């Protein structure tokens, strides 16, 4: 997450500095920590049976909802961005990858927010919620780069069939 987009955001677009973005992230973490839900008993029995539905309704431990999808999402985004930067993935295919990941991200966000009370410390709930919001910031940043600065991100010289997407 943010592997290719933040360097472009800070160097080429320059709407905010790294310090300003860090201060905003810390402020958001503080707000999410103060508004964290009451934590569940550590003796509470939560099951992985019917995983998708249980996670959606908040019946799974937070780490079982957060980490598997977070790792899979970041690997997918890194692979798509790397292939697009090297010219092996067209702009339209890059758009398709991000669009296919959007609905699972929405499911994941809702599941993380519902399962936030199923953790041992409030900072874990706040951190997981902050990272789900950061994914949407990443998507907004990628959309902004895709629309206004495609020549900075994509290898437009090698894209013969999709050259119109670089303008």
Model confidence pLDDT, tens digit, residues 63-101: 999 999 999 999 999 999 999 888 888 888 899 999 999
CA distance 131 to 74: 12
Per-residue pLDDT band for 136 (boundaries 50, 70, 90) equals: very high
Mean of pLDDT over the chain: 86
Is the pLDDT at 164 greater than 90, yes or no? no
Whether 36 and 125 have beta carbons less than 8 Å apart is answered as yes
Instruction: Please tell me the distance from the alpha carbon of residue 128 to that of residue 124, in angstroms, as a whole number.
Output: 6
**144 in Cβ contact with 151 (< 8 Å):** no
- Domain ranges for the chain: 5-35+50-166
* Comparison of pLDDT for 162 and 37, the residue scoring more: 37
Which is more confidently placed, 3 or 27?
A: 27
pLDDT at 157 over 70: no
């Amino acid at each position: 997450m943010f592997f290719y987009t933040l360097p472009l955001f800070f160097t080429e677009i320059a709407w905010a500095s790294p310090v300003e973005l860090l201060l905003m992230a810390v402020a958001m973490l503080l707000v999410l920590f103060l508004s964290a839900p009451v934590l569940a008993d550590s003796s509470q029995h939560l099951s992985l049976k019917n995983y998708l539905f249980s996670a959606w309704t908040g019946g799974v431990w937070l780490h079982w909802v957060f980490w598997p999808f977070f790792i899979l999402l970041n690997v997918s985004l890194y692979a798509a961005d790397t292939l697009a930067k090297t010219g092996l993935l067209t702009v339209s295919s890059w758009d398709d990858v991000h669009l296919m990941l959007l609905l699972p991200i929405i499911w994941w966000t809702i599941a993380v927010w519902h399962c936030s009370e199923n953790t041992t410390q409030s900072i874990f709930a706040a951190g997981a919620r902050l990272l789900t919001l950061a994914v949407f910031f990443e998507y907004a940043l990628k959309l902004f780069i895709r629309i206004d600065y495609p020549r900075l991100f994509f290898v437009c010289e090698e894209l013969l069939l999709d050259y119109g997407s670089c303008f």
